Amino acid sequence: MLVSGGCLLSGCFHHKPAPAPARPAVVGTPAPAIVTPDTTLAGTVVSYNETGRFVVLNFPAARMPKLDQHLFIYRAGLKVAEVTVTGPQSDDNTVADLLSGDAQAGDQVRDQ
């Protein structure tokens, strides 16, 4: 009995406590988020003249395309045409000649 008690006590002496959980490293303050303005030129096709192969485009008044600027027409996310802005411009509408493809009223116009 004395021997079994000694074995039990000696087992307790060799038992090591579990290590403390590691603390996460303290990292400095996070870098500030970089915000860049969207400078994409975007508008919509107002009308398409199939005979004359030109479109009337509508843009926000603050972001109108330049003369001779090439733009792309998208329908349902797919590029369907390429145009060149020829003018004239009236308020937030301008005219562009169709270089390739076709257009429909409501198509999206972008410079990319």
Q: What is the pLDDT of residue 13?
A: 56
Measured between its terminal Cα atoms, the distance across the chain in Å is 89
Any idea what DSSP says for residue 26?
P
Tell me: pLDDT of 24 over 70.
Answer: no
The residues that bridge with 98 in the sheet, in sequence order, are 83
Q: Give me the architecture of the 41-110 domain, per CATH.
A: Beta Barrel (2.40)
Q: Which region holds residue 9: left if phi is over 0, alpha if psi is between -120 and 50, else beta? A: alpha
Question: What is the residue extent of each domain of the chain?
Answer: 41-110
Each residue of 48-105: pLDDT tens digit?
Answer: 999 999 999 999 878 899 999 999 999 999 999 999 999 898 889 999 999 999 999 9
| pTM > 0.85 | no
